[in-house]
Structure 1
Amino acid sequence: MPKKKKFSLMSAVLSVICVVFVAEAAAPVASIGNSQFFWWIFLLVLFLLPYGLISSELGTTYIGEGGLYDWITKAFGHKWGSRAAWYYWINFPLWLASLAVMCPGLIETIFGIKLGTWTGVLIELIFIWLIIWISFYPVSDSVWILNTAAIIKMTLAILIGVLGIYTALTKGMANQFTLKSMLPTFDLHSLSFVSVIIFNLLGFEVICTMADQMENPTKQIKQSIIIGGIVIAAIYIFSAFGIGVAIPTDKINTGSGLMDAFKLLLGTDTGWFISIIALLFMLTLFGNMISWSFGVNSVASYAAENGDLPSVFAKKSPKNQMPNGASIMNGVIASVIVVVAPLLPSQDLFWSFFSLNLVMLMLAYIPIFPAFLKLRKIDPDTPRPFKVSGNNTFLHILAYVPVALIVIALIFTAVPLDFSKSSLTEQLPIFIGTIIMVIIGEIIIKVKKVTKEGNTREDINDDSK
């Protein structure tokens, strides 16, 4: 009798929470002000709900390690599959670098010490390669890390919400709460951070790449997405409310927001409780990166095996078949970024790397929604254990509203629309980085196409002999 797999429904739900719930993104969202509550509710309804439903159908219909790459390739062919796989993968080392640059500050808070620049870089490299090392092992071996990180994330979010409400009740509201203040202002500052909320709601498809390590993937994928989505929405709104009522928005910076929030609420920058919070927060960063690494590496490896990404991504461990090639490339690129970072002009490095990461990730998601419609049309006979109900008009609205929201968010995040010196300094690197990453993706598509055509001609010649 085969050994029962370790990835239970509870582990699947906690993995969804670990993947989707992004604690480090609290600060950029909080900096919007009270209108963040409008955007949370607006995007939960018009983005998270459609995205969760569509991911549930695609994930339970096309189970496998290819994830979104598989869905998009089936619908639109290898060129679009290659694009999506590249954007999806490259976001990870950028994100890994953005979290790594937070670690020295957290170490300083934990131990009450001051680190030098290159000591900080060494800590960043240790963070990166510890993530890479863990990603060499199957997700079922690391499930306790994902479960623990999810629980810690929920605990921190609930704690910040409770502390915020307590502070507001005892010391008064930090920000004026009126109906007008909660309505969107549509200024460039607010709109540039709306993309962070969308980013906070992405990741449901990662659980689909873990299907082969689940007890009952068809059932668990659907349940984990639904249950996890409800829990995540509730926690986001509660923690956002706690921060919003207790902390003036101009006192939180985008690079260390959650820790700033705790320090402001507790009225101290030091102490054993602050050290524990910093340690727990660092553990959530590990959990986030480990959970995402399984998804992006599986997609990159699968795409490489199908000839749509460089062959280095297809290299697997002979011992456990984990995609070590993709993992090592993550580590190499993230390491180069953090080593070069101290030489860059002084700026918010976390936000620069994080912004480029979320731009690339959102680009990967755009084809998912039309792929859902296309697969309904060209592949209607494949059994769908979970099927989104509704007429054709409703399904088109369900698919294209999220696409429109992603495109709008991308424009306000990546394109410099404010030509003041400070804004250009912040956004030009993101815009230039986006262009470079897109060009690299197109070069990969061109090279892989030529390689495929050459292999095809060789096969034809061999068959004719």
Structure 2
Amino acid sequence: METETKNYSDTTSVWRRKPMYLYEQDMKKSELKRVLGKWSLTAIGIGAIIGGGIFVLTGTAAHYHAGPALALSFVIAGIGCIFAALCYAEFAAMLPVEGSAYAYAYGTIGELFAWAIGWGLILEYAMGAMTVAVSWSGYFNKLVHLFGFDIPFWLRNDPVSAAKYAADNGLAAPGFSINLPAFIIVWLVTSVLVRGIKEAAGANNVIVLLKVAAVLFVIVVGVFAVVPANWQPFIPAPEMIQGETGAPHSAYGWGGIVSGASAIFFAYIGFDAVSTQAGEAINPRKDIPFAIVTSLLVCTVLYIAVSLVLTGMINYKDIVGDALKAPVAAAFEKAGKPWAVFIITAAATAGLVSVMLVMMLGQTRIFLGMAKDGLLPKFFSNIHPTLKTPYKSTILVGLVVSIVAAFTPISILGDMTSFGTLFAFAMVCLAVLLLRRSDPGRERPFRAPALFVIAPLGIIINFYLIVNLSEIAQLAALGWLLVGLVVYFIYGRRHSNLNDL
């Protein structure tokens, strides 16, 4: 122990690593309640994965990227996820602490690298929560419309979208507009998270059951509406089409399949969120790996099935590409099954709530891990004395997410979330590989099989998918990482707990 402490305290390098014994101390001193079993953790993973991918991004990816071959996009993304998931599972079993990939990198690669991952995870979860909040608003507006009530357009759109809506419909531009449903749902989720993890997990479990039932409903009912001709050609020839932002871009063919895989990677951050709950798991060394792998496998199979049904029901060019127009529900409407629209819309409206819940939950636990290490202010690690939740950071996250979701048109946030996810996945694969070499004798309750094949393939696939994201998203995400470096050198490095070793 003394030798380990000396080795770490002798350096002021940005590559200094957090000693493993400090992780063990963190686990013993944790004030969080350990109330999550393996099925609650699995439900958290499924709760995050199912939602954005099936109810929001399937339409976008099919229409703008892959066509019927969207199923192959999910296969590619799923393979990349499996490699990363096995690496996550090995680390989560060794280091069952909050912080996810950030914590793993801090103990193996170094502080600056860990900071970059943590900052990227903040981008991933914050952007993801904002995107889903706006998508939820779209489904909620469709739901109330089905019951004969329409929310005024200036109360359901951000200022830019409201102005566009007014222009398209010959209306006067409103003096004020806000996406009120998105704003309200974020605060409802925030209130649940502040109350406690047990309450949040209980609500999530109920929603996940409803959501899985709805997805199975989509598959079973949709199969009978499939017209095999809609799958021809399964991989459409490459062509230039008008993208989501209005600018032309190349779609379909192999390039479209890969770009589709990059775009829908946003949907796979659920199992990553499972690892952020290690501090609240009853038996994290066994249950976290189980939940990570199980939630990923279940959801990947469901994704592939839904994508085949969706592209088989109607022609891929007729699929709604706008996430705000409820693509899956719209497909059933066009396929002549309007009665199914009620069920799907209601399930999606409820289901997207659990996605927001898990994303905001993961966000606050990343903050908690970084604040405990001194890289962020102690404000983010304050635990409520009775509720045992990081209530201050939860409220702050709710404030930021609700304001951005209410007033900002969101078109590239999905891609930016994918950037943060892919970056974190690749770094976890690298970190677990390095630790196997540098500390092969360490106890590993779960060992990723064939690691020296799996980890390199995970790195390659995830970086390949990053390259295939939109250029705007790449530049915006890189800009975010540069801002993070400034914050690290101004605050994080100077206040790191490792300075006191």
If the TM-score is normalised by the length of the shorter chain, which range does it land in? 0.7 to 0.9
Note closer, same or farther for the CA distance 1:176–1:11 as it changes in structure 2 (3 Å cut): same
Using the alignment, how far apart are the partners of 1:266 and 1:275 within structure 2? Answer: 13
Using the alignment, how far apart are the partners of 1:455 and 1:154 within structure 2? Answer: 45
Choose from 169, 176, 180 the match for 2:232: 176
Note closer, same or farther for the CA distance 1:453–1:386 as it changes in structure 2 (3 Å cut): closer
CA deviation digits over 1:276-298, x for unaligned, max 9?
A: 42222111111111123222211
Using the alignment, how far apart are the partners of 2:335 and 2:347 within structure 1? Answer: 17
Using the alignment, how far apart are the partners of 2:357 and 2:428 within structure 1? Answer: 23
Counterpart mapping for 1:288-307 below 5 A: 288-307=355-374
Segments of structure 1 that go 5 or more residues without pairing to the other structure are 342-348, 416-427, 461-465
* Structure-2 residue corresponding to 1:353: 413
Task: Please tell me the residue identity of whatever aligns with 1:42.
Answer: I
Kindly state the Cα deviation for residue 431 of structure 1 after the two structures are TM-superposed.
4.5
Q: Give the conservation status (yes or no) of the 8 Å contact 2:121–2:363.
A: yes
Task: Please tell me the residue identity of whatever aligns with 2:82.
Answer: L
Using the alignment, how far apart are the partners of 1:266 and 1:143 within structure 2? Answer: 37
Note closer, same or farther for the CA distance 1:293–1:48 as it changes in structure 2 (3 Å cut): same
Counterpart mapping for 1:310-389 below 5 A: 310-341=377-408, 349-389=409-449
SS in structure 1 opposite 2:385? Answer: coil
Choose from 103, 116, 125 the match for 1:70: 103
SS in structure 2 opposite 1:351? Answer: coil
SS in structure 2 opposite 1:259? Answer: helix
CA deviation digits over 1:160-201, x for unaligned, max 9?
A: 222322012xx553231558889x7233x5443221343333
Kindly state the Cα deviation for residue 93 of structure 1 after the two structures are TM-superposed.
2.4
TM-score (norm 1): 0.82
Using the alignment, how far apart are the partners of 1:453 and 1:128 within structure 2? Answer: 32
> Between the two proteins, what is the percent identity of the paired residues?
17
Using the alignment, how far apart are the partners of 1:29 and 1:414 within structure 2? Answer: 13
Instruction: Tell me, yes or no, if structure 1 residue 397 matches structure 2 residue 457.
Output: no
Task: Please tell me the residue identity of whatever aligns with 1:340.
Answer: F
Task: Please tell me the residue identity of whatever aligns with 1:376.
Answer: R
Note closer, same or farther for the CA distance 1:455–1:123 as it changes in structure 2 (3 Å cut): same
Instruction: Tell me, yes or no, if structure 1 residue 446 matches structure 2 residue 480.
Output: no
Instruction: Tell me, yes or no, if structure 1 residue 140 matches structure 2 residue 176.
Output: no
Choose from 142, 145, 150 the match for 1:114: 150
Kindly state the Cα deviation for residue 377 of structure 1 after the two structures are TM-superposed.
2.2
Q: Give the conservation status (yes or no) of the 8 Å contact 2:126–2:360.
A: no
Instruction: Tell me, yes or no, if structure 1 residue 409 matches structure 2 residue 465.
Output: yes
Task: Please tell me the residue identity of whatever aligns with 2:44.
Answer: S
Kindly state the Cα deviation for residue 204 of structure 1 after the two structures are TM-superposed.
2.0
Note closer, same or farther for the CA distance 1:103–1:41 as it changes in structure 2 (3 Å cut): closer
CA deviation digits over 1:60-101, x for unaligned, max 9?
A: 111111221110100112111111111112222222221222
Q: CA RMSD in A?
A: 2.9
Using the alignment, how far apart are the partners of 2:143 and 2:482 within structure 1? Answer: 41
Task: Please tell me the residue identity of whatever aligns with 2:333.
Answer: K
Using the alignment, how far apart are the partners of 1:264 and 1:359 within structure 2? Answer: 33
CA deviation digits over 1:290-342, x for unaligned, max 9?
A: 1232222112111122122344423332323322233223223223323432x
Q: Give the conservation status (yes or no) of the 8 Å contact 2:374–2:496.
A: no
Note closer, same or farther for the CA distance 1:314–1:240 as it changes in structure 2 (3 Å cut): same
Kindly state the Cα deviation for residue 359 of structure 1 after the two structures are TM-superposed.
2.0
Task: Please tell me the residue identity of whatever aligns with 1:406.
Answer: N
Choose from 42, 49, 52 the match for 1:13: 42
Instruction: Tell me, yes or no, if structure 1 residue 286 matches structure 2 residue 353.
Output: yes
Note closer, same or farther for the CA distance 1:179–1:119 as it changes in structure 2 (3 Å cut): closer
Single out whichever of 361-370 and 439-448 deviates more from structure 2. 361-370
Q: Give the conservation status (yes or no) of the 8 Å contact 1:86–1:300.
A: no
Using the alignment, how far apart are the partners of 2:86 and 2:229 within structure 1? Answer: 37
Task: Please tell me the residue identity of whatever aligns with 1:436.
Answer: G
TM-score (norm 2): 0.77
Instruction: Tell me, yes or no, if structure 1 residue 41 matches structure 2 residue 97.
Output: no
Task: Please tell me the residue identity of whatever aligns with 1:102.
Answer: S
Using the alignment, how far apart are the partners of 2:296 and 2:198 within structure 1? Answer: 22
Single out whichever of 201-210 and 90-99 deviates more from structure 2. 201-210
Choose from 477, 485, 492 the match for 1:434: 477
Task: Please tell me the residue identity of whatever aligns with 1:175.
Answer: W
Using the alignment, how far apart are the partners of 2:358 and 2:445 within structure 1? Answer: 25
Counterpart mapping for 1:155-304 below 5 A: 155-168=213-226, 173-176=229-232, 185-187=253-255, 189-251=256-318, 252-255=320-323, 256-268=326-338, 273-304=340-371
Using the alignment, how far apart are the partners of 1:454 and 1:228 within structure 2? Answer: 35
